[in-house]
Amino acid sequence: MAFLISYLATGIVLLAVDAVWLGLMASRLYRPMIGELMADRISPAPAVLFYLLYVAGVVVFAVQPALASGRWTTALMLGAFLGLVAYGTYDLTNQATLRNWPTLITVADLAWGAVLTGISATAGMLVTRALAGGAG
């Protein structure tokens, strides 16, 4: 039950916060810099699959270790590191393989991945601790 609570809490926060970021930044940052690469519409299936997998990764690699340690700072730090690695995988690969991939996009995405995932993991850990008594 604790895993389900962690998964749902982390996922809700991650989706809500990422939706705000994407809503604000798609037209201000991404479209002006990489608009020619962007689809007119988001393809739902890969997006849903990404979020389902990513939230599971956040729970396994950040929330559960934080519940085991009893420290929210563990969720924050492990979540931020996971976000940096995951978003870095995407952006640094693009930087290495695509012509004219903007460095500003890479820097913004690395920072965003760390912030988003750290916040989401921390929220997931705190909600789980409150509702399930800290069981991992």
What CA–CA distance (Å, rounded) separates 4 from 6?
5
pLDDT tens string for the chain (136 positions)?
A: 999 999 999 999 999 999 999 999 989 999 999 999 999 999 999 999 999 999 999 999 999 999 999 999 999 999 999 999 999 999 999 999 999 999 999 999 999 999 999 999 999 999 999 999 866 5
Listed residue (86, 78, 71) closest to 18, CA to CA: 86
| Pair of tokens at residue 11 | 């996922």
Number of residues in the chain: 136
